[in-house]
Amino acid sequence: MTTVVLPGSFDPFTLGHLDLTRRATALGHHVIVAVSHNPSKQGLLDLEARTAAIRGSLAQEGLEGAAEVRTLPHGLLVDFCREVGAGAVVRGLRSQLDLAYEEPMARMNHHLAGIDTIFLLTASSLAHISSSLVREVHALGGDVSDMLPAASLEALHADSDLR
């Protein structure tokens, strides 16, 4: 079984993220969902809430053991991959724009450390979902319940209740 890393800010962890995790495990990989803090993004949930929501989502899907959640330390992704013994990074592609964004990073990761990137096309039914759009719809009072696993939806509502 190969270990792979699915990195992201996951703010919040969507059904698209869960689908990528499920599909990577079905391919025989042990998936480390590596949660990062992206200072260039306007955050909604803190790192602890995101990590807990992902753990809850993986448990609800029965993916414990096949997938785990870790916090991605500051620094290079390839250094984290080496540290955890990962042979590849997994990234989802919703459109050609995602490929244009992801390709240079994939090439750099390979150049720096020989780490390959596995691209999985997002399921058509989930291709319109992104964390940033979910945050925006939620902030404007829209219903995002069909875009998130239950644990992520609970974290989002808990965060809203605190504001």
* DSSP helix/strand/coil, 24: helix
pLDDT of residue 43: 79
Catalytic residue among 17, 29, 135, 138: 17
How many CB atoms neighbour CB 81 within 10 A?
25
In this prediction the pTM is 0.94
How many CB atoms neighbour CB 52 within 10 A?
18
Whether 131 is catalytic = yes
Architecture of the domain spanning 2-162: 3-Layer(aba) Sandwich (3.40)
Q: For residue range 128-157, what is the model confidence (pLDDT) as tens digits? A: 999 999 999 999 999 999 999 999 999 998
pLDDT for 160 beyond 80? no
pLDDT of residue 159: 73
Sign of CA dihedral 139, 51, 31, 60: negative
- Identify whether the C-beta of residue 11 lies closer than 8 Å to the C-beta of residue 26: no
| Residue carrying structure tokens 């955050």 | 43
Whether 36 is catalytic = no
pLDDT of residue 42: 65
Mean pLDDT of 55-84: 96
Q: For residue range 37-64, what is the model confidence (pLDDT) as tens digits? A: 867 666 789 999 999 999 999 999 999 9
pLDDT for 96 beyond 60? yes
pLDDT of residue 2: 94
Q: For residue range 9-42, what is the model confidence (pLDDT) as tens digits? A: 999 999 999 999 999 999 999 999 999 986 766 6
Whether 145 is catalytic = no
Catalytic residue among 30, 37, 94, 110: 94
Whether 138 is catalytic = no
Mean pLDDT of 107-124: 97
Catalytic residue among 50, 131, 135, 138: 131
Give the percent of the chain with pLDDT over 90.
Answer: 89
Sign of CA dihedral 29, 35, 39, 42: positive
* DSSP helix/strand/coil, 64: strand
Catalytic residue among 41, 107, 128, 157: 41
